[in-house]
A and B are shown apart, each in its own frame.
Chain A
Amino acid sequence: MTTPPQTDNAPPAGVTRRQFLQNGLWGLAVAAVGAITGLAASRSSRSSHFWQLDPAKCVQCGRCETACVLTPSAVKAVHAYALCGYCKLCGGYHQPQAQRIDTAAENQLCPAGALIRTFIEDPFYEYTINEERCIGCAVCVKGCSQFGNGSLFLQVRHDRCVNCNECAIARVCPAGAYRRVPADHPYLLKGSPEAHA
């Protein structure tokens, strides 16, 4: 095996300027692709926005209970106590025309027994939500909005929500009440500035 003869005008051994530039451009391109890939990976692992339900637009249709990919739904009733009237007859707790104003199952609206009523002092009663039982059906929300102060409303609970790219509830929400909210302000609470934005 023979080697080609060396001539006087052959380039010197080592890296030429052209090669240096080519290598540099390749390196930059690889670094850019890596940065984009890393950024995308970072975004996919930690989203900057969550899905949330705007209580001002909610029409209490019941789809939050049935359309969520989770069972039970990640949507739960929440309570703005500052708005609550603490009524003995609660439109969110009691059946319309309930025969008795008490805690018997037949007089309650909630199908899951998730709304807990506690006597404070006459004539005031406190209503709290048992999230383990709540199925997000919005029956209490509808009753509260019709006959009360609207202190009960729905929210996506982010300790449960899996943050689908395309929220299954948002796709079917007839009121367009779902929107993306910043992760550092993930809730649209009644009376808060975010809820009015």
Chain B
Amino acid sequence: MNQTVLAWLIPGTAALLGAAVLAGWLAYDPAADLVVQVPGMDGEPAHAGPAAPGAAVHIGDQFRAGDGVAADLPGSWPGFRGARADNRCADPVALADRWEAGQPPILWQVKLGEGHAGAAIHRGRVYVLDYDETARRDLLRCLSLADGRELWQRGYPVDVPRNHGFSRTVPAVTDRHVVTLGPRCQVMCVDAVTGDLRWGIDLVATFGATVPMWYAGQCPLIVGDIAILAPAGPETLMMGVDCATGQIRWKTPNPQGLKMSHASIMPAVIGGVPMYVYAALGGMVGVSAEAGREGTLLWFTRDWDRSVIAPSPVIFEDGRIFVTAGYGGGGMMLQVTREGDTFRVATLQTFKANEGFASEQQTPVRIDGHLFGVLPNDAGPLRNQLVCVSPDDVRTFVWTSGRDRRFGLGPYLASDGKLYVLAADGMLTMLRATAEGYRELGQKHILDGHDAWGPMALAGGLLVLRDSTRMVCVDLRGGK
């Protein structure tokens, strides 16, 4: 009897255990803890994007006169990248070839709101679009080039939440007008001498522009008396605005749906045709600047499309265009060719940041047929080094500054056969502008702050530069 019970009990128990294990195995879901990663998990509201500044912005409604006097000094740096948009100063002023102790002297300094807006210089005046953090307003400040004292200021309240600083852009100046573009895309035009308001346009309210991440970085361009702007709204990609009246003279449609980048519009002549080249988010365009055909789209390519684009295109006389971007954007050399009334765009070279010449914030400078620039943070072991390349092969470095000479994301410009590079920590380096090698001539720590990223301006031998909160004027002149 006991043997019979055991004969059933043992296999029965084994069968029950087996069934339990099988059921458990079938019921177990190894993916039960997985979380599907989909958009919207951060709680971002559906209408996310830069919040409206609240009430309508009354552009240019605040003015205050100062006691500064315009300097009687030669030279002009009338906007982003200087008079010829090439980041070179052609003023016939001899600059010092070496710096002794205490040189170059700092002539003056002023405190600014946190940001990266560079200066324009014209007729002894320095123009900078500052942000007044206390009064929460964009503020165009006109300073004397001689001593930094303020001639006047004009601004308008607009709430800009701090986001890696506030200000970004360089004004455009002529004898008559100054045009600014604020961090939240308000355009203001004032009299260059008196500061009287001419007009204002809110690119968001009027053209549906999308304020870029970290705010607008597009610097206005003035050609003749026309301000060239790229709102990149749903209807209008680019437009020309009469500086005297504020009337819109021409518009370029935006069927491609391009968005505003941090790059600026670059004037160019390709195939004998004057044009404006703009690297937007979504693609790059060439827009006619030819009299009678202003605003006509000449060419368009999506080959150059990056999520963040700060450097502006560098254009060569033969129609080659070098473009670059940070955040994994790398670089690209394009070729624009005119064929009758049409233009064709071809990609010559494209590469990642650690495979060739690239830049994150600053636009490279051309000197004697070579390109010079500081490599971005994602350039591998060469990151932040100053390098020189030939435009014929932008993936091969002619020279690099070496592991002991890194410059962060700082600006640079050229004049009098020399290249001036400002490191992000405020160290100014002077070197020979030559493809023969890195020939350093001098160094001086000019600024004590951080994030010295704002473009520099040079006029009459006086260099105006800044870190995140302070602007200084340095005398580079020397006797030869």
Contacts and interface: CB of A to CB of B under 8 A. Distances in A.
Interface stretch (A64-72, A117-125, A162-170): A117-125
B41 interface: yes
Interface stretch (B2-10, B110-118, B325-333): B325-333
Contacts of B38: 103-105
A67 to B, nearest CB: 23
Interface stretch (B44-52, B82-90, B138-146, B427-435): B44-52
Contacts of B377: 145-147
B213 interface: yes
A146 B328 CA distance: 9
A104 B35 CA distance: 11
B48 A96 contact: no
Given A102-B42, A104-B37, A125-B42, A97 B307 contact: yes
Contacts, number: 79
A176 interface: no
Interface residues of B, number: 30
Contacts of A97: 306-307, 327-329
A146 B40 contact: no
A52 interface: no
A88 interface: yes
A113 B33 CA distance: 12
A147 B49 contact: no
A17 B257 CA distance: 106
B37 A108 contact: yes
Contacts of B202: none
Interface in B296-355: 306-308, 326-329
B437 interface: no
A147 B39 contact: no
A102 B43 CA distance: 10
Interface residues of A, number: 29
B247 interface: no
Counting chain A CB atoms within 10 Å of each CB, the highest count among B41, B48, B50 belongs to B41
Contacts of B50: 122-123
B164 interface: yes
B42 A118 contact: yes
A123 B378 contact: no
Contact of A123 (B213, B307, B327): B213
Counting chain A CB atoms within 10 Å of each CB, the highest count among B49, B307, B329 belongs to B307
A100 interface: yes
Given A89-B308, A97-B307, A117 B41 contact: yes
B326 A118 contact: no
Given A147-B326, A147-B378, A119 B43 contact: yes
A82 B24 CA distance: 48
A100 B44 CA distance: 13
A57 B48 CA distance: 38
Interface string A21-34: 00000000000000
Interface in A60-97: 85, 87-89, 91, 95-97
Contacts of A121: 161
Nearest to B379: A146
Contacts of A146: 377-378, 383
A25 B383 CA distance: 68
Interface in B17-76: 35-45, 48-51
Contacts of A108: 37
A34 B164 CA distance: 63
B328 A96 contact: yes
Given A85-B164, A122-B49, A102 B44 contact: yes
B163 interface: yes
Contacts of A88: 213
A183 interface: no
B135 to A, nearest CB: 21
Interface in B145-188: 161, 163-164
Nearest to B352: A96
B428 to A, nearest CB: 24
Contacts of A145: 377
A143 to B, nearest CB: 9
Counting chain B CB atoms within 10 Å of each CB, the highest count among A96, A101, A121, A124 belongs to A96
Contact of A103 (B42, B45, B213, B306): B42
Contacts of B163: 85, 87, 123-124
Contact of B39 (A89, A95, A100, A124): A100
A99 B38 CA distance: 14
A113 B306 CA distance: 24
Contacts of B42: 102-103, 117-119, 125
Given A96-B328, A123-B161, A145-B377, 11 more contacts: A87-B163, A96-B327, A102-B39, A102-B42, A103-B40, A103-B42, A104-B39, A105-B38, A117-B42, A118-B43, A122-B50
Interface of B: 35-45, 48-51, 161, 163-164, 213-214, 306-308, 326-329, 377-378, 383
27 contacts: A87-B163, A87-B213, A88-B213, A89-B213, A89-B327, A96-B327, A96-B328, A96-B329, A97-B306, A97-B307, A97-B328, A99-B307, A103-B37, A103-B39, A119-B42, A119-B43, A119-B48, A122-B51, A122-B161, A123-B163, A125-B42, A145-B377, A146-B377, A146-B378, A147-B327, A147-B328, A147-B378
Closest 8 pairs (CB-CB, A-B): A96-B328, A105-B37, A102-B39, A103-B41, A119-B44, A117-B42, A146-B378, A146-B377
